[in-house]
Amino acid sequence: MKIVRSVAELRQTLASAQRPAFVPTMGNLHEGHLSLIRQARPLGDVSVASIFVNRLQFLPHEDFDSYPRTWEADCAKLEAAGCDVLFAPRETDLYPEPQTFKVQPDPALADLLEGEFRPGFFTGVCTVVMKLFSAVFAGHAEGVSVFGKKDYQQLMVIQRMVQQFALPITVLGAETTRSEAGLALSSRNGYLSEAERTEALQLSLALRGLGREALAAAHALPQHREALEAAALAALQARGWAPDYLTVRRRSDLQPPQAGDPLVVLGAARLGSTRLIDNLEI
């Protein structure tokens, strides 16, 4: 596995590639990230991963400085997963000057759910992903990038961005990797105590329960959705969680569903000091 730091070196390294397959990460890698690498590898003639903790997508009170950085372990895991090239820019490599030009996503998709509780988050995500895409795919007629469905709204935002800018990139969503018990793997799971890790399963269970209720009330879901969501929120709060949202949305645009729409249930909640997210297509 070749490790490169600068955009110029990355472009030179990939100059002979026909179809790069790219997985962006913020490091602190787990099996979920590695599954994305393994899924991406056969989709291109060179597999590329990035590790970059993007300051632009952290709010002032969030954990940018304390976000886990596990460089040596990450490199070993990526190499074992068959990654060909690791792009690991320093902040000055990716942002050599203040990033005053930013990508503003469509508010109709980006300002709800995660965007409501983390204002500006998707602007930071889109800006860094656009820069990473430019670094990886410049000069190539086509490419593919794989994102996990655990960050469901993020995946949708990136797919819409690529579509609207007519980028020659196929953005694929990979299924969420879970522990044997069903917990969605996340870099932030490392913040959980042993007791919290067991309790953390309740978020996915709450979403499954909400999904069952939504399907059972499918014919009248538009009228009863908010009551079902409120009951699910109250049940999770009773267990000591601080939920931001548990909601049923239509998959196409994350708006409130109408009868017959394909559905997804999404949730975000804080357990102790750790904020977790999860979702389930139903």
Integer Cα distance of 251 and 11 in angstroms: 36
The question of whether 33 is a catalytic residue gets the answer yes
Query: Does residue 114 contact residue 125 with C-beta atoms inside 8 Å?
Result: no
Query: Does residue 140 contact residue 11 with C-beta atoms inside 8 Å?
Result: no
Query: Does residue 51 contact residue 74 with C-beta atoms inside 8 Å?
Result: yes
Say if strands 274-281 and 263-271 run parallel, antiparallel, or are unpaired.
antiparallel
Chain mean position to CA 57 = 12
Sheet with 20-25: list strands edge to edge. Answer: 2-4, 85-87, 46-51, 20-25, 143-148, 169-174
Query: Does residue 23 contact residue 158 with C-beta atoms inside 8 Å?
Result: no
Integer Cα distance of 213 and 228 in angstroms: 7
Q: Which residue of the set 33, 140, 219, 224 is catalytic? A: 33
Please name the amino acid found at residue 267. G
* 226-258 exposure pattern, b = at least 16 Cβ within 10 A, e = fewer: eebbeebbebbeeeebebbbbbbbeeeebeebe
The H or E element containing residue 87 is strand 85-87
Q: Return the active site residues.
A: 33
